[in-house]
Amino acid sequence: MLGIGIDVGKFWLDLARHGDPTIHRFSNTPVGIAQLIDALATAPDIFVVLEATGGYERSVLRALVQAEHAVCRVNPRQSRSFARATGQLAKTDALDALGLADMAHCWHARLPRYVEPQPWQSTLAAYVTRRAQLVIAVQQQEQQIAALTVPALGKSAKRTLRALQKERAELDQQIALLTAPRITPAWRSIKGLGPVAQATLLSLLPELGSLSRQQIAKLVGVAPLNRDSGTLRGHRRIFGGRARVRAVLYMAALVAVRWQPEFKAFYRQLRLRGKLAKIALVACMRKLLVVLNARIRDERRIAGTVVAAYPN
């Protein structure tokens, strides 16, 4: 297995092979990506690792998957920790590519393969992202209106606010239409999972139903991680994971502990045991995620196929 590392930038793709100090640079354009795929066409069995870079990596990821190459998209924190562990403290595009190639060579058996999302998932994710942007914009506009003292400016700001609120309402309708065919009884079985939470989980957590309870909790970032050494027993804390998924789980848990008897009793039990309110709520987030994961998994098993539960 030959490890390949690709450092992704807005304009350039730097490719490195394990054991070879030579760096090959391609433009991050359709032409450059096609040249990169051609350069890998004659290579033996390869495993490609690249970093998540806020979307600049999507085109090359899609091209690598279509070319049937095994590829993994890693968190930049992981690759940087790996580089430091090897003694590489400096950071350049070329060094990053070489480090990713070494990472691919050493960890190819442990790193998860990237799976291209289905078109409806990509579309839904774009709508969810835009809605999150609008929510922030509406909050900012409301704060700005409260601070304005000039009436003319206040009227202008209120017009902008109404336009943003109208666009958000239209997005909510479109998101509801996109998610409706894919909301099965398992999704409706937990109070607190509203349209926004359902859309976020469908688009940003497609692994639901296919992982164990420990794996799904760690993936989202709601699994308590040990901090023990020798006789020291440190406080367990959550770390990493998918922040946007955690945000909707937090709001869903707030509703569940009020209206879902199972979660309400679980939360009260934790509080009676002396757990802080925030810690108890995070535990409810984890329980909600684990329960939903199990119900979706069981629903798919009964249906027989993933397609039956999530039609295209």
Specify the long-range contacts of residues 81-84, CB closer than 8 Å, at least 24 apart: 82/107
3-state secondary structure 67-110: CCCEEEEECHHHHHHHHHHCCCCCCCHHHHHHHHHHHHHHHCCC
3-state secondary structure of 57: coil
Alpha carbon 257 to its chain centroid, in Å, reads: 25
Torsion 263-266-271-276 (CA) sign: negative
**Residue 312 pLDDT exceeds 80:** no
Counting Cα atoms < 13 Å in the Cβ hemisphere of 169 gives: 6
The CATH code of the domain that includes 85 is: 3.30.420.40
CB 245, CB 220: distance < 8 Å: yes
Amino acid at 137: A
3-state secondary structure of 49: strand
Per-residue pLDDT tens digits for 204-233: 998 898 889 999 999 899 988 888 888 888
Domain count, the chain: 3
**Residue 308 pLDDT exceeds 60:** no
Q: What single DSSP character describes residue 195?
A: H
Q: What single DSSP character describes residue 225?
A: B
CB 21, CB 64: distance < 8 Å: no
Co-location of 30 and 9 in the same domain: yes
Is 9 a domain residue?
A: yes
pTM score: 0.81
Co-location of 62 and 154 in the same domain: no
**Residue 307 pLDDT exceeds 90:** no
pLDDT score at 269: 95
23 phi and psi angles, rounded to 5 deg: -110, 130
What is the rounded distance in angstroms from the CA atom of residue 148 to the CA atom of residue 169? 25
Is 114 a domain residue?
A: no
What is the rounded distance in angstroms from the CA atom of residue 173 to the CA atom of residue 195? 10
* Alpha helices by DSSP H, the chain: 30-41, 58-66, 76-85, 93-107, 119-147, 151-179, 185-188, 195-204, 213-220, 243-259, 261-272, 277-303, 306-309
Q: What single DSSP character describes residue 237?
A: B
Structure tokens at 82: 């790996």
Is 28 a domain residue?
A: yes
Is 113 a domain residue?
A: no
Co-location of 40 and 73 in the same domain: yes
Torsion 299-302-305-309 (CA) sign: negative
Amino acid at 119: P
Strand-strand pairing, 46-51 and 228-229 = unpaired
**Residue 245 pLDDT exceeds 80:** yes
Co-location of 177 and 200 in the same domain: no
Co-location of 136 and 194 in the same domain: no
Is 276 a domain residue?
A: yes
Q: How many residues does the chain have?
A: 312
Co-location of 90 and 129 in the same domain: no
What is the rounded distance in angstroms from the CA atom of residue 296 to the CA atom of residue 236? 28
Is 112 a domain residue?
A: no
Lowest mean pLDDT among 247-251, 256-260, 274-278, 299-303: 299-303
Report the chain's mean pLDDT, rounded to a whole number: 90
pLDDT score at 311: 38
Co-location of 6 and 99 in the same domain: yes
Co-location of 84 and 126 in the same domain: no
Counting Cα atoms < 13 Å in the Cβ hemisphere of 249 gives: 28
Co-location of 174 and 73 in the same domain: no
198 is in which domain, residue-wise? 188-229+236-309
Per-residue pLDDT tens digits for 263-277: 999 999 999 999 999
Distances (CA, A) of 107 to 2, 101, 194, 196: 11, 10, 39, 36
CB 50, CB 129: distance < 8 Å: no
Per-residue pLDDT tens digits for 175-197: 999 999 999 999 988 888 888 89
CB 143, CB 161: distance < 8 Å: no
Co-location of 132 and 207 in the same domain: no
